[in-house]
Amino acid sequence: MRHRSAVVVSIAVIGALTLTACGSRDDKKSGDSGTGGGSTTVTIGIDAPLTGDLSALGLGIRNSVDLAVRQANEKNEVPGVKFQIKALDDTGKPAPGQQNATQLVGDKDVIGVVGPLNSSVAQSMQQIFNDAKLVQVSPANTGVALSQGEKWATGEKSRPFQSYFRTATTDAVQGPFAADFLVKDAKKTKVFLIDDQKTYGAGLAATFKGQFLKNGGQIVGQEHVNPDDRDFAAVVTKVKSSGAEAVYYGGEYPAAGPLSLQLKDAGVNVPLMGGDGIQSGDFIKLNPKGQGDFATAVGLPVEQLPTAAKFIADYKAAGYKDAYETYGGYSYDSAWAIIQGVKAVAAANSGKLPDNPRAKVVEAVQKVSFEGVTGKVSFDEFGDTTNKQLTVYTVKDDKWAVEKSGTFNG
């Protein structure tokens, strides 16, 4: 990064917007966040669904990255560098993600990407970013193969993309954690298993199933649905006749909410449980009869973390109209990891970024270690977060309430 260049660090929220790298010393470009006084401007992009069914989660991601950028500028976190954001919309689908990944790497000034929300979108982007040595940090991806390779379940783990990192833990622990909870805590040993056939949902259901059977549980039925389905009459009939004591759903809240509601309306009064993809306030809006349903989420409850108190207060003070949602703290920490990577690269180069900083930023992010909103932020040899804690939530009094927190130890 040269003293008068505008370097774009895109933490992608992928869509059709175009990132620009024009601007000079004191230019104020669109997307400015905060007031830093640096002579070099870098842009942190955000990749998340800003429109469509999953936009509640995506908007929380965008706002939380924006907050991180504003505070980096206020603190002059990287001397001589001012940050700004450019938020792009991937609508939660792989094709826009892939198109925008190509667009981002084509801009020589882009040096980092945060996102996406969906594991299936990440699959479409990883190779493109890796080939360009462009760092990517996701606050939400939980699909195991993204970081440990397709053969991870056999014990053959191999990191496919050196440029890929995440601050959320994986379904290798999330699914089994849920299975342990249902059998050992909720005392449910007969489960009807449903997934939406997407990378995230199918993978989560598979890891849940393996541990549930290991615990002595019985899968009394299994069905696959389309993530866009909203009429689940046929599935509800099968669940009703199965004798299931609970339903486990691998997927996201836009389908999980209506599924749970239709089960209750049909007299199937058993809890539906899912992963972090259903742990949203919108699940409750879609399902007024969700009392007693369960969801796991990565990490400990942000509201209960001393490290998150300032984030919550600052987010509220910033006046964002959208909630930070499940991934807010992880999004802030993903942005901060890239900011710290940029800081380290600049510090090692006499206080400025080198002409071609991408590969060096990847190396620097691998080494970051700091106390973030969600606790200690650092990455292991696969680029996965070293924070393996999870939480079970239940719907109580029309909100998600903490049921249990802990770690899965195998």
Q: Give the pLDDT band (50/70/90) at residue 120.
A: very high
Strand duo 294-298 + 389-396: pairing: antiparallel
Q: Identify which has the larger pLDDT, 20 or 182.
A: 182
Q: Find the Cα–Cα–Cα–Cα dihedral 142, 144, 148, 152, rounded to 10°.
A: 170
Whole-number pLDDT of residue 57? 95
- Phi-psi category of residue 268: left, alpha or beta, with phi > 0 → left and psi -120 to 50 → alpha: beta
CA–CA distance, 297 with 338 (Å, rounded to integer): 23
pLDDT, tens only, 344-379 = 999 999 998 888 888 999 999 999 999 999 999 999
Q: 33 pLDDT band (50/70/90 cuts)? A: low
258-276 per-position pLDDT tens digit: 999 999 999 999 999 999 9
Predicted confidence (pLDDT) per residue in 272-308, tens digit: 999 999 999 999 999 999 999 999 998 888 888 988 9
Top mean-pLDDT range of 38-52, 82-96, 107-121, 211-225:
211-225
Q: Which of 286, 344, 373, 388 is nearest to 111 (CA)?
A: 344
Average pLDDT on 211-224 reads 98
Q: Are 19 and 104 in contact (CB under 8 A)?
A: yes
